[in-house]
Copies of this chain bind each other. A is one copy, B any other.
């Protein structure tokens, strides 16, 4: 019995988040692969699903559509152990998810995209260097937070970890190194060891 349809691509960390959570929950879903490189998110048909022209989009049985990867995580996880019933823990989970979209993804995901897929830049170009500096800053904030912690919030796997794992576990594909971030590396191994945890690394 299928309940959810996900429009996404396996190349994207933002889509990976949704797939990971659905796999962890063991809930069935239909995955519809959308190729951003062929402009499939900019067609008139797709813009009816999400006027912002981005994936992932979660579609419910009644055709309600939810865009924004982190809003989808909230929708699916709110009443599960991957979120929390405690206001401060909930807030911390969302805090790291907003951090991810503002201070992490635009640098770590974008350098991976530019170097691995678009190939419009090289390792030494000014844009890559500027993003690398800001991405390393995000990793250093994570490193500090993980000094005495195994997970981001509440010492268990939550959607904050699922969110941050998506692009962090393939950051090396964007030219980032974990040599200066041993706590982040250890956390990545913790999360990767979780049963049913999937990777987008090809």
| A interface, CB within 8 angstroms of B | 51-52, 54, 64, 66-72, 74-75, 78-79, 87-88, 90-92, 94-95, 97-99, 101-103, 105-106, 141, 144-145
Contacts and interface: CB of A to CB of B under 8 A. Distances in A.
A176 B54 CA distance: 23
A-B pairs with the 4 shortest C-beta distances?
A71-B95, A75-B91, A68-B98, A68-B95
B95 A98 contact: no
Nearest to A138: B52
Given A90-B74, A91-B74, A94-B94, A51 B145 contact: yes
Given A71-B98, A98-B68, A98-B70, A78 B90 contact: yes
A202 to B, nearest CB: 25
Copies in the complex: 2
A28 B143 CA distance: 35
B106 A68 contact: no
A102 B101 contact: yes
A22 to B, nearest CB: 16
Given A141-B52, A144-B51, A94 B68 contact: yes
